[in-house]
């Protein structure tokens, strides 16, 4: 197997990041939503323009995992935007981590998470947050092993559908 590398995304990666984000979200969650809700969500959230804005924002960190010249995973981190009373402007959030299905189970999600968390704490420890689907038990276990604990819940909108999400925090 060829080595997988993780690097910071660059402006030229925006179309690849948008396509990877849409594909991995759909691969993971499409079965939960009516097709029109999924299409609306992807059209609003996984566009080259949105990816380019995240990459260009100095408050955001975006990484791509690549193997054989192909993007197979990514992570996004930045200021916390979760709806919790204890969130402050100093808080950071692990916003997204996704890995292509064929590359899952290789520890790549954990590697992406470690890179993103280290970046979030590059200036010292601070309170970190993330949101996770309430039924994604595997991801919740991974987050708990790195010190995150459930501290709340909220609704995550995908088109007209609303998912039950957990808010987790550490620090």
Average pLDDT over residues 124-135: 94
* Euclidean distance between CA atoms 138 and 117, whole angstroms: 18
Give the count of beta carbons closer than 10 Å to the beta carbon of residue 115. Answer: 19
**pLDDT band for position 1 (cuts 50, 70, 90):** low
User: Is the confidence at residue 91, as pLDDT, over 70?
Assistant: yes
Residue 95 has pLDDT above 90, yes or no: yes
User: What average pLDDT does the structure give for the chain?
Assistant: 94
CB atoms within 10 A of CB 164: 11
Query: Could you tell me the pLDDT band of residue 79, with boundaries at 50, 70 and 90?
Result: very high
Enumerate domains of the chain plus CATH numbers.
5-125 (3.40.630.30)
Neighbours of 47 (CB within 10 A): 17
For 84-102, b where at least 16 C-beta lie within 10 A, e where not — what string?
eeebeeebbbbbbbbbbee
Residue 150 to residue 168: CA distance in whole angstroms: 4
pLDDT at residue 164 is higher than 70 = yes
For residue 31, pLDDT beyond 90: no
Residue range 118-130: mean pLDDT, rounded: 94
């Amino acid at each position: 197997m060829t080595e997988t590398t993780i690097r910071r995304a660059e402006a030229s990666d925006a179309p690849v990041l948008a396509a990877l984000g849409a594909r991995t979200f759909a691969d993971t969650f499409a079965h939960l939503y009516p097709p029109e809700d999924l299409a609306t969500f992807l059209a609003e959230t996984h566009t080259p323009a949105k990816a380019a804005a995240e990459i260009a924002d100095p408050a955001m960190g975006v990484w791509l995992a690549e193997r054989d010249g192909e993007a197979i995973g990514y992570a996004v981190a930045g200021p916390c935007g979760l709806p919790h009373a204890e969130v402050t402007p100093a808080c950071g959030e692990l916003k997204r981590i996704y890995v292509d299905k064929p590359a899952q189970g290789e520890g790549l999600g954990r590697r992406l998470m470690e890179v993103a968390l280290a970046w979030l704490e590059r200036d010292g420890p601070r309170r970190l947050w993330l949101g996770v689907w309430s039924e994604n038990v595997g991801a919740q276990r991974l987050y708990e092993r790195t010190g995150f604990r459930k501290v709340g819940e909220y609704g995550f909108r995908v088109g007209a559908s609303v998912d039950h999400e957990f808010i987790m925090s550490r620090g």
